[in-house]
Amino acid sequence: MKTNKKYVLSKDESLFVRGPLSRFKELLFSFKVQLSFIKAFRKMHFIGPCVTVFGSARFTKDSAHYKNAEKIGAALAKLGFTVMTGGGPGIMEAGGYSVGCNIVLPFEQKHNPYLHKWIDIPYFFIRKVLLIKYSYAFVVLPGGFGTLDELFEALALIQTKVIKDFPIVIFDSEYHKELCRHIQIMAENESIAPTDMKLLLVTDSIEDLMAHIETYSIKKFGLVKKQYKPNWWFSEKKTNSKKNK
């Protein structure tokens, strides 16, 4: 896959997490982060209530995991949700009205052709904020390090009540059996509370997944149609009439 030269991180940006830079470079970096957030907020403001689907970019179309993602995406769309993903290939091509927060990497990642709207983001932490901010539920499909990172980010935020207790569903019990066992071990050793186990639903049934989201997202949070009008001061155009927060 060709590198997206336009968005390759500069040397200063790639060094940012390694330690202090000059005060001027730190300030410049903070301005770039702020600009990325502003662009993302503008892009995402009218997309409607979302369910974020986490999963690997590496599964091909003939994979059972990919086919399950398509079915889940279509079912979520029928419930009235916009499907939000990391925007890349593989499972992130889940069906329905789809929005992608695409991380810019020198390999593996580029936005998939099935997205209705997407934004390119140069920093992982900004993408994670957006995937959390606009979602009323999280669906975890088979994936790798990135998927687990996003799963436990959502769990930690819900556990600590930074965000509301939106439903989190782990799909495919066989693939995730060792992960689920480790979470159980954490509860047995009291590194998490036994009640924290209730933050997750593990299932192999798309029907049960949708029923869970309908009960603990749509009904619990009273998702009703609420229109945000575009503001001509910001040169906004409304592109989606779906429900919003």
As a whole number of angstroms, the distance between CA 245 and CA 228 comes to 9
Residue 82: which residues within 8 A CB-CB, separation 6 or more? 47, 48, 49, 50, 51, 96, 97, 98, 99, 240, 242
Closest CA to 131 of 85, 95, 91: 85
| Bridge pairing between strands 50-54 and 200-203 | unpaired
C-alpha span between 73 and 95 (Å, rounded):
4
Report d(CA 92, CA 71) in Å as an integer.
12
Distance CA 15, CA 7 (A): 16
The pLDDT tens digits for 223-241 are: 754 555 666 566 666 554 4
Burial pattern 66-101, b for ≥16 Cβ within 10 A else e, equals: bebbbebbebbbebbbbbbbbbbbbbbbbbbbbbbb
Q: How much is the average pLDDT of 76-82?
A: 90
* CA 7 to chain CA centroid, nearest Å: 21
The stretch 90-108 carries a mean pLDDT of 63
Tell me how far apart the 2 most distant CA atoms of the chain are, in Å. 56
Confidence of residue 190 (pLDDT cuts 50, 70, 90): very high
Give the model's pLDDT for residue 236: 64
Amino acid 3: pLDDT: 44
Proportion of the chain above pLDDT 70, given as a percent: 74
Give domain limits for the chain: 5-234
pLDDT in tens, 127-151: 889 999 999 999 999 999 989 999 9
Provide the 3-class DSSP secondary structure of residue 184: helix
Between 5 and 110, where is the model more confident? 110
Confidence of residue 243 (pLDDT cuts 50, 70, 90): very low
CATH number for the region 5-234 comes to: 3.40.50.450
